[in-house]
Amino acid sequence: MAAFTLAGLRIVHQVATAGSFTRAGELLGYTQSAISRQVAAMEAAAGAPIFDRSRRGVALTPAGQVLVRRAAEILADMAETELELAGLRDRLAGRLTVGAYPTAAMALVPRATAQVTSGHPGLAVVLEEASTPALLRRLRTGRLDVAVIGIGHGLPE
C-alpha cells in the first residue's frame, strides 16, 4: 500500500520547481535515481502519473498540479508547526524594550520586530521613539534593552 510521505512531497515539489529530476537532486543533495524512486512512490500513492517526462525536463500532469499545490500547502504548514514547536522550547520570552530614532521606528524596527516575535512568540517588544542622544541616555540607565541610533555628521559622538 503506497502512502504519501513528507520527504516524497518535498521531492515532488522540488522537481516541479526545478523542472528536472537531475536539478532537484542537485538542490536537495540526492542522486537522480533516489529522486526517481521517490517520485515513483508518490505516483503510486496518487494512483496517477505526476510528471510528463521529456528530454527537455518534466511538466506536471493534472494530478501533478493538484499534488504540487497541496504539497506546497502541507510543507508550509509543517514549517509553521516546526516554528511553533520551537517557540514552545524557546527560552527567549518576556519584555524587550527597543528604542529607535523616528525613521528607524517607522521602517526598520517594525519589520525586525515582526521577524523576531514570529520566531519567539513568548517575547513582547515595546517600542520607544526618541532622538539618538535621548536613546543613549535611556540605554545607559537601563530603561532600554536595545537602541537603534543614528550616527554620522552632525550627530553627537
The reply to whether 18 and 74 lie within a common domain is: yes
Residue 145 has pLDDT above 90, yes or no: yes
Instruction: Say what percent of the chain tops pLDDT 90.
Output: 62
The reply to whether 81 and 22 lie within a common domain is: yes
Residue 83 has pLDDT above 80, yes or no: no
Q: Is residue 154 part of a domain?
A: no
The reply to whether 30 and 64 lie within a common domain is: yes
CA distance 67 to 5: 12
Sorting pLDDT into bands at 50, 70 and 90, what band is 156? low
How would you write 22-80 as a 3-class SS string? Answer: HHHHHHHCCCHHHHHHHHHHHHHHHCCCCEEEECCEEEECHHHHHHHHHHHHHHHHHHH
Answer whether 58's CB lies under 8 Å from 20's CB: yes
Q: Is residue 157 part of a domain?
A: no
Q: Which residues pair with 57 in a beta bridge?
A: 54
CA distance 156 to 154: 7
Half-sphere exposure (Cβ direction) of 7: Cα atoms closer than 13 Å: 11
Q: C-alpha dihedral over 35, 40, 79, 107, to 10 degrees?
A: 60
Q: What's the pTM value of the predicted model, to 2 decimals?
A: 0.59
Q: Is residue 120 part of a domain?
A: yes
CA distance 80 to 78: 5
In order, the DSSP letters of 115-131 are: HHHHH-TTEEEEEEE--
Instruction: Tell me the three cell numbers of residue 74.
Output: 502541507
Going by their DSSP bridges, the two strands 57-60 and 51-54 should be labelled as: antiparallel
Sorting pLDDT into bands at 50, 70 and 90, what band is 9? very high
Model confidence pLDDT, tens digit, residues 122-134? 888 999 999 888 9
Residue 1 has pLDDT above 90, yes or no: no
pLDDT at 120: 80
The reply to whether 83 and 124 lie within a common domain is: no
The domain tally of the chain equals 2
CATH code assigned at 100: 3.40.190.10
The reply to whether 73 and 108 lie within a common domain is: no
Residue 92 has pLDDT above 70, yes or no: yes
Rounded average pLDDT over 85-99? 79
Residue 155 has pLDDT above 70, yes or no: no
The reply to whether 25 and 83 lie within a common domain is: yes
Domain residue limits at 130: 94-148
